[in-house]
Structures are given as structure tokens and as C-alpha cells.
Amino acid sequence: MTTKAKRKHTGRQQPAPSKSEVKAYPRSAYDEVGGIVYFARMLHKIRLHAAGRLPPDYHKNLSIGFDGRCSRFLRVDYAALRERVLQGGTDEQILQCCFAKGRQPNDEEILIWNSFMRKRGWRDEADGTTKELERY
């Protein structure tokens, strides 16, 4: 008969991290706002970053990559969008602001955007293929 030895905890207990210290991952890129995918994720990343809760791996791609592509699709400046997000409001209110200051894509443009974004992977930007295709 074997018995398992119990491990004694000899270290000090660390206090649980506060909610602001816990890193949070951005919401899904497939979440839609106004029928548009990825927009909600971009806004969530902005909010998490401002609160100090966005994991460091995401910092280098803020305003570029898919974030930049989304802001260009709506024809809004990312820095101005970031300011607007930090003023507060719902995702829907911020999207309406983007439509007013940038452009409001029609249903067909949204369909094409959504189809494109749903097929993208996190590695797709690294090989340069997307930039090559955009030259046509």
C-alpha cells in the first residue's frame, strides 16, 4: 500500500491580484457591431490597453495589422478613434460616430469585408501575401 505524501506549503501566500492587474484577452474577432466583424475586438483592445489589462503581445499591433485595416475600411484615423473610445460610449455609438466622420459601407461592402476577415489568420500578415494581393 503506497501513500501519497502531502506537500506542505512553506511559502508566503500572495494576495490575489486586483482586477486591474489581471490581463484579459480581447473579445472574438467574429463578434459583430452593426453587422461588421472585428470592430468590437478593436474597441475592446483599445479599452483593455488603456486600463493596463491588454497582454503585452498585443501592444505592438495596436493601430496596425487588422486594427489599421478596420479603421481604413471605415476611413477613420485610428488615433482619433482611440480618443473617441476612451471618451466612453457603447460600441454601437462609436460605430455611428465612425460612419459620421468616415464612411458608412453599404451591405455589399460589409459582406466582402466580413468574408475577407473571417478567412484571415493571425499568421496571414507576416508572409506579405496580403500586401501583394492589395496591389491589384
Q: Which contacts (CB < 8 Å, 24+ apart) does range 71-78 have?
A: 71/42, 73/105, 73/113, 74/39, 74/98, 74/99, 74/102, 74/103, 74/105, 75/102, 75/103, 76/101, 76/102
Each domain of the chain, given as residue ranges in start order, spans 34-121
Mean pLDDT of 44-56: 96
pTM to 2 decimal places: 0.76
Helix (H, G, I), strand (E, B) or coil at 114: helix
Report the pLDDT value the prediction gives residue 42, as an integer from 0 to 100.
97
Strand partners, 36: 33
Rounded-to-integer distance, Cα 94 and Cα 99, Å:
9
Rounded-to-integer distance, Cα 86 and Cα 65, Å:
21
Instruction: Give pLDDT tens digits for 114-133.
Output: 999 998 765 555 555 555 55
Which helix (H) or strand (E) segment is 33 a member of? strand 32-33
Give me the amino acid identity at 129.
T
